[in-house]
Amino acid sequence: MILTASILLCAQQFVGDWTFAGPYSEAKEIAALEKIIAGGGALNGFKAHEAKAFYGHFDVAYDIGQEFVASVFYQHKIIAKEDKVWRVRMGSDDGLKVWLNGELILQHEAERGTNPSEEHLLLPLVTGDNYLAIRVINTGGTWSFSINDEKLANPIEVDRAIRRGTDHLIQAQALDGSWGFHKGAYRNGATSLAVYTLLSCGISPQSATVQKGLSFISATYPEKTYSAGCQLMALAELNDPQYYEQMEVIVSDLISWQERNGMWAYPGGHWDLSCTQFAILGLNAAANIGIDVPDKVWRDAIEGILLCETEIKGKAARRISGFRYHPGYSASGTLAMTAAAVASIEICRQQLGGKYPQKLRKKAASAAKSGLAWITQNFTVARNFGFNGHRYYAIYGLERVGSILDLSKFGEHDWYNEGAGFLLDAQHTNGGWPNTTVDFADTLYSLLFLKRATAQAAITGEYEVRSSNEVVSENLDGRLRLHVNNGDPVVMWTALPDGLKTTAVTYAIRRHANAPWQPIGESSANRFAYTHSFPGVGKWLVRAECVADGQQVNSTDVVYYYVPNLRPDDTSYGDDEFENLISVSRATVTTSTEVADYFGGKQLVDGSLSTRWFCKVDDALPEFTISMRRSAKATKLLFSHIYTSPSNIADRPRPIEVEVYINHEKDPIVVSINPDQSQKTIYAFEKKRSITKLRVVITKVVDGNLGKASIGFSEIELQR
């Protein structure tokens, strides 16, 4: 095992080594040990740990020889020179319990990996001897825990994390401008939240990504409260007069959806605090740019939110109460819902400006205060306290409360620093946060949290700011250091290792590791800078090389995702689903083969570019037939490739020619498919056709061979 360097602080001294014992799987054994710990004493018979440092990462499986579904106990003695609160960060795989001098400080039983900044503990040391005890609980697989001193989130690292996160979102946008998760009934919601997040993070309103997203959400009005609230937030952040009329309609809809008790439902179903929060966030955004929202809406909303308050505990001066999803949902509050309530009440109070009955003012102020006390008492960034799930939603809720109330701390917890520390350690290598391949909500909530402070923090140093907007090759001794800046065209430049001299650097690109390198140019300019427009959207490998002292020297490969500036057709696909006649024709699909049900023929007509049909690898003549119960009178036939987002576009096998058989005709129409995966193929019929059956046979592919590759399409459309 590897541990960080030992630390001796002026206020406390770590005496001796860590000791440990286990594994324990019997409940009686574990209970007996916990009883001794709760009595404040040290545990006897423990083994001395080989680590000489107090702080670090502990591989429990290494310590006990193998992995178990069990518990292991660790303990350490600490001498404090004075009474003080000691701040530490901890993480564990899986569950964790922590005691100090017999007092249970933390209990979190969960299945998770170790994030060193997940738990932030305030340990009340007393003058003299203190005993720290830890129980690490494993539910299977890897097994570890970490303990480290608290640290401040580096604003430069935060800025880089935001840029990596926004790059991830930009690369994941679908051809129609959407982000496909929750697209069904919540069509506009996810994409609106993504656009709002990107704008909040400094992405230009004129960027191709934002313009495509706006085209998608402007194609129709939202039908759900979540979607309406998010769309208002996005359009208000844009603050462009051309969208004011659209916002006024959405505001009118949201007001009409408000229940008699002041709350919002989806609409439909039971009203709840989560829907209500997004309605209030959206209406607040609209009101802040001058769109009228009647005072009655805010007054009624306060009354409704109070219905979700849990049982109040404590005396009047120190009352505490959480909030729940709705009164019948649970007996206790949750962190996400209590944060939603406190932020929403404060928004309503600010919008009313004191112009509402004194009785309601007192009730609102008291509820917000007691809710804030509940958050302070149960503060954590490790989970949605009170509920198993929606952790990142809860973190976003903390950001809303902290920002709206202009708080730097919840009690003794620096909420931004602790949350940012956790998010920096939790960020995926692709730039997103958990569930990034299916649901981007966690990434959106994480970015909205992080951006709160970076808007105020000073980013020092020209290099750091510049480098956070580029991809850089690995820094290895004797190798060139290649920098590829985001943009269109792309600017790349090269730094030479110490002592190396050359007159020119050559740049080359390729789509994947098995493709030949394509030289794109040479530069002798300052820093060997070179400008290039990539021939296609999506993933590319880039390399720099030169000749120095008669030898070839190169960089490691840079993986770069190319996203071009706005092109003429980029905003033309946002409303295609409403022009698609197949979606209203009650179509059924049969295929020659399909690799799995979730890659089946039905995905061709589901209206989503995030799903797709794949044939089996050995299918030498892939085909599908779309049968429609209602005749479609169409003038155009559209094909979309399997993958259309930049993060997935590469030179993979794909169709470039198909034969189309209409109804029962024996002679096919031969259609050439545009190999550019970031564009739809649009075939115009010579005249309007009445179609009930469409049979498509794939006859030619590129970057592969029929019968040796799994190929297909994501969507087939017929338009008027």
Per-residue pLDDT at 97:
97
Is residue 15 within 8 A of residue 77, CB to CB? The reply is yes
Burial of 276: CB neighbours in 10 Å, binned 0-12, 13-18, 19+:
buried
Q: List the beta strands (DSSP E) in 505-653.
A: 505-510, 518-523, 530-532, 538-548, 551-554, 558-562, 587-591, 613-614, 623-641
Question: Alpha-carbon distance 22 to 320, whole Å?
Answer: 40
pLDDT higher than 50, residue 152:
yes
Q: What is the enclosing helix (H) or strand (E) of 34?
A: helix 27-38
**CA distances in angstroms from 629 to 240, 497, 565, 583, listed in the order given:** 43, 68, 41, 11
Per-residue pLDDT at 570:
86
Question: Alpha-carbon distance 205 to 208, whole Å?
Answer: 8
Q: Give percent above pLDDT 70 in the chain.
A: 94
Q: What is the enclosing helix (H) or strand (E) of 121?
A: strand 119-125
Higher local confidence (pLDDT), 706 or 140:
706
Cα dihedral 202, 346, 239, 220 sign: positive
Going by C-alpha positions, the residue among 493, 480, 483 that lies closest to residue 546 is 480
Is residue 254 within 8 A of residue 282, CB to CB? The reply is yes
Going by C-alpha positions, the residue among 654, 659, 636 that lies closest to residue 702 is 654
List of domains in the chain = 12-149 (2.60.120.260), 155-454 (1.50.10.10), 465-562 (2.60.40.10), 576-719 (2.60.120.260)
Question: Alpha-carbon distance 338 to 252, whole Å?
Answer: 27
- Which two three-digit tokens encode residue 592? 């020659």
Say which DSSP state 152 is in: P
pLDDT higher than 60, residue 409:
yes
> Lowest-confidence range among 48-52, 97-101, 396-400, 443-447?
48-52
Scanning the structure block, which residue is given the tokens 């306060």? 302
Per-residue pLDDT at 456:
38
Question: Alpha-carbon distance 547 to 261, whole Å?
Answer: 75
- Which two three-digit tokens encode residue 606? 């589901």
Strand partners, 24: 71
Question: Alpha-carbon distance 529 to 522, whole Å?
Answer: 9
Going by C-alpha positions, the residue among 139, 148, 116, 138 that lies closest to residue 60 is 138
284-310: average pLDDT: 96
Per-residue pLDDT at 507:
98
Per-residue pLDDT at 315:
58
Q: Give percent above pLDDT 90 in the chain.
A: 78
Which band of pLDDT confidence, cut at 50, 70 and 90, is reported for residue 189?
very high
Phi, psi torsion values for 92, nearest 5 degrees: -155, 155
Cα dihedral 35, 37, 39, 41 sign: positive
Question: Alpha-carbon distance 164 to 591, whole Å?
Answer: 40
471-475: average pLDDT: 92
Higher local confidence (pLDDT), 50 or 225:
225
- Which two three-digit tokens encode residue 691? 């179609």
Is residue 339 within 8 A of residue 397, CB to CB? The reply is yes
Which band of pLDDT confidence, cut at 50, 70 and 90, is reported for residue 133?
very high
pLDDT higher than 70, residue 454:
no
Which band of pLDDT confidence, cut at 50, 70 and 90, is reported for residue 367?
very high
506-516: average pLDDT: 93
If DSSP codes are grouped into helix, strand and coil, which group holds residue 239?
Answer: coil
194-203: average pLDDT: 94
Single-letter residue type at 517? W
> Lowest-confidence range among 307-321, 336-350, 456-470, 537-551?
456-470
Per-residue pLDDT at 314:
61
Residues in CB range of 559: below 8 A, 6 or more apart: 471, 539, 540, 541
Per-residue pLDDT at 354:
82
> Lowest-confidence range among 2-11, 39-48, 195-204?
2-11
pLDDT higher than 70, residue 402:
yes
- Output the CA angle 434-436-442, nearest 5 degrees: 55
Question: Alpha-carbon distance 669 to 59, whole Å?
Answer: 64
Crossing angle (nearest 10°) for helices 391-404 and 335-352: 30
Higher local confidence (pLDDT), 459 or 590:
590
Residues in CB range of 290: below 8 A, 6 or more apart: none
Single-letter residue type at 177? G
Phi, psi torsion values for 660, nearest 5 degrees: -115, 125
Q: What is the pLDDT of residues 226-249, one digit of tens each?
A: 999 999 999 999 999 999 999 999
Scanning the structure block, which residue is given the tokens 């590759």? 709
Per-residue pLDDT at 4:
30
Per-position DSSP letters for 209-257, written without gaps between them: HHHHHHHHHTTS---SHHHHHHHHHHHHHHT-GGGHHHHHHHHHHHHHH
Which band of pLDDT confidence, cut at 50, 70 and 90, is reported for residue 35?
very high
Residues in CB range of 21: below 8 A, 6 or more apart: 33, 43, 45, 46, 47, 72, 73
Would you tell me how many other CB atoms lie within 10 Å of the CB of residue 339? 29
End-to-end CA distance of the chain: 66
pLDDT higher than 50, residue 6:
no
Question: Alpha-carbon distance 71 to 74, whole Å?
Answer: 10
If DSSP codes are grouped into helix, strand and coil, which group holds residue 40?
Answer: coil
Which band of pLDDT confidence, cut at 50, 70 and 90, is reported for residue 2?
very low
Per-residue pLDDT at 455:
36
pLDDT higher than 80, residue 72:
yes
Crossing angle (nearest 10°) for helices 273-288 and 244-257: 150
Crossing angle (nearest 10°) for helices 155-172 and 415-426: 50
pLDDT higher than 50, residue 613:
yes
Per-residue pLDDT at 435:
60
Phi, psi torsion values for 108, nearest 5 degrees: -140, 100
